[in-house]
Amino acid sequence: MKIKKLSVIAGVLMTPAIASAVVSLPAVLSDGVILQRDRPVVIWGKADPGEKIDVRIANRHASARAAADSTWSVTLKPIKAGGPYTLDVNGRKIDDVLFGDLYLCSGQSNMELMVSRVTDFFRDEIDSYSNDYIREFKTPKEYAFHGPRADVSPSQWKKIHPGEVEKFGALVYFMAKELYERNGGVPVGIVNSSWGGSKIENWLSHEAICDYPDMECRLRLVEDDTYRELVGKAEDRAAYLWYRTMTDTDPGYKGTHRASPATDDSTWPEVELLGREWGTADGRPANGSHWLRRNFTVNAAQAGAQAELRLGCIVDADSVWVNGRFVGFTSYQYPPRIYKVPAGVLREGDNNVTVRVVSNAGTPHFVPEKPHKFIFADNSEISLEGKWKHAAGALMPKAPVRTDFFQNPTVLYNGLIAPMANLQFSGVVWYQGESDIDIRSRYCKIMKSLIADWRQTFDNPMLPFYIVELADFLHPSDTGGRAAWQQMRDAQRQAAEETDRAYWIKNGDIGEWNDIHPRDKKTPGRRTAEAILNTPQ
């Protein structure tokens, strides 16, 4: 087993160096943890070299002494499903510990996507359901270039409660709920180590990328800390100058603010909100800022009422005002724009909504076939589609490119997977591939490498893998793009078919052509649960 021997790395994120006889535990072994039932239970951490460690839980007891490198671990006999228990390590207590089925869920944004992004689709079900026995540990966003880390920064185990469930991964929420209800109430734990936009190579260990010389070379090009620090500083400065220049030269901020009800937009040309003409200049994307305004009528019943403003998705960023009152801001294109308009802002008769759109690189636009309207508590609506007034703000060159250093081979494995090596899992759920369409011809091979790699990490050659197929995406007229996505789905399926105890979860029959993050996470969640329940033990 390769990781348990590499528990001490310079710069690890365990509890700070021990000055006295203080025993530390990894972040995942914290209040509310769910551990795998019916398997040997490893408890580990750090302490002063030579210190005796006593571990007690559920009538189990084991002792060890910390090694010269300060690490220690004990292994307890298996414990059946149940709890809550208290884990006692030299008098340090971890409360509310359950034993059940633990799953590692990983991938990119469709695995990371939170319940809050799909609540509208399943509001009644989500609002009416609570469960203390389904819990998720979302790992922080951390990566490492110089070998596997021993721990992640502190995080919390969250339960399905109002105020906590909104931050659950949406797919794993539905998966875990189905597993719990169909498996006799056995607790379900999720370690969600996912990162939006990540590539499969980011999740391979260094040993695994040795089979791919191009990955090894890409890692060597960026592993120098000084280089990354200088690049980061230069890019931060470039971004600051771009935004400062855009803001300083935007006429919308000169004199009367363009969001003010007093703004005279009578000379502004009319444009179609869902068209792209307003976002181009001389046939090219008009990057920088744009101002769009629309007047609308509010009736007596709606006047003064709180409302919800929906503007779909926008490429790229936006700031929004209603009757001169700022109501919201979104910094990138993917989240649905849902802004609360406080009571008292809307008035009977004429009203105004103003949107400042900022485009970084592509053609600025509002995504079609999304809601663009005000919604009131009585279910009345005011549509905002159709004609708007438009005026350019500061037209800019493309925004400076930012380097995502997490997008390098092995760094997410080092930062987020290696620290979990001592855990036992019932299975791994993998939802990734959107960022790897360009390597779809070899994705199957790399996926099989990742499965073998992680099975070695967790010392479990029979660890089940559940590969969620990419959802439907792209407009029917984009035949080339859709063909590429289908080839990726075929690679995912092939990897599952060619690997023992790997299972392909159908998902290509659902999706939204205009949204890479489809809201229906219940269907793939339930299908994944079904596959898990049907997996031979």
3-state secondary structure 435-446: HHHHHHHHHHHH
Residues 6 or more apart in contact with residue 396 via CB below 8 angstroms: 242, 245, 246, 287, 288, 289
What would the pLDDT profile of 143-177 be if each residue is shown by its tens digit? 999 999 999 999 999 999 988 999 999 999 999 99
Q: Is pLDDT larger for residue 120 or for residue 388?
A: 388
- The pLDDT confidence band at residue 120, using thresholds 50, 70 and 90, is confident
Instruction: Report the 10 Å Cβ neighbour count for 78.
Output: 13
pLDDT surpassing 60 at residue 13: no
* Spatial CA neighbour of 111 closest among 91, 139, 86: 139
What pLDDT, on a 0 to 100 scale, did the predictor assign at position 268? Answer: 98
Examine the pLDDT at 94 and tell me if it is beyond 50.
yes
- Grade residue 10 by pLDDT with cuts at 50, 70 and 90: very low
Inter-axis angle of helices 522-533 and 170-182, nearest 10: 40
Confidence tier at 18 by pLDDT (50, 70, 90): very low
Rounded percentage of the chain residues whose pLDDT exceeds 70: 96
- Going 27 to 28 to 30 to 31, the CA torsion angle's sign is positive
Instruction: Please write the tens of the pLDDT for every residue from 257-304.
Output: 999 999 999 999 999 999 999 999 999 999 999 999 999 999 999 999
Average pLDDT over residues 371-383: 96
pLDDT (0 to 100) of residue 17? 39
Whether pLDDT at 15 is above 60: no
* 3-class DSSP state of 407: coil
| 102, β-bridge pairs | 189
Task: Categorize the per-residue pLDDT at 3 as very low, low, confident or very high, splitting at 50, 70 and 90.
Answer: very low
Q: Is the pLDDT assigned to residue 11 strictly greater than 80?
A: no
* Confidence label for 537 from pLDDT (cuts 50, 70 and 90): confident
* Cβ neighbours around 235 below 10 Å, total: 14
pLDDT > 90 fraction of the chain, expressed in percent and rounded: 94
Region 478-497: mean pLDDT is 98
Tens-place pLDDT, residues 465-478: 999 999 999 999 99
- Predicted structure pTM score: 0.92
Write out pLDDT tens, residues 190-202.
999 999 999 999 9
* Length of the chain as a residue count: 537
DSSP lists the bridge partners of residue 166 as: none
Average pLDDT, integer, range 57-71 = 97
Q: Tell me the per-residue pLDDT of 312-369, one tens digit each, with 9 for 90 and over.
A: 999 999 999 999 999 999 999 999 999 999 999 999 999 999 999 999 999 999 999 9
pLDDT score at 21: 59
Q: Predicted confidence band at 22 (pLDDT cuts at 50, 70, 90)?
A: confident
pLDDT tens column, 384-440: 999 999 999 999 999 999 999 999 999 999 999 999 999 999 999 999 999 999 999
β-pairing, 387-395 vs 288-298, is antiparallel
Check the CA dihedral 178-181-183-188 and report its sign: positive
Model confidence at 14: pLDDT above 70: no
Q: What is the mean pLDDT of residues 221-227?
A: 97
Nearest-CA neighbor of 73 among 91, 46, 97? 46
Q: Which of 126, 94, 196 is nearest to 433 (CA)?
A: 196
What would the pLDDT profile of 228-244 be if each residue is shown by its tens digit? 999 999 999 999 999 99
Strands 270-272 and 372-376: unpaired
Close Cβ partners of 211 (under 8 Å, ≥ 6 residues apart): 449
Write out the two tokens for 56: 């007690």
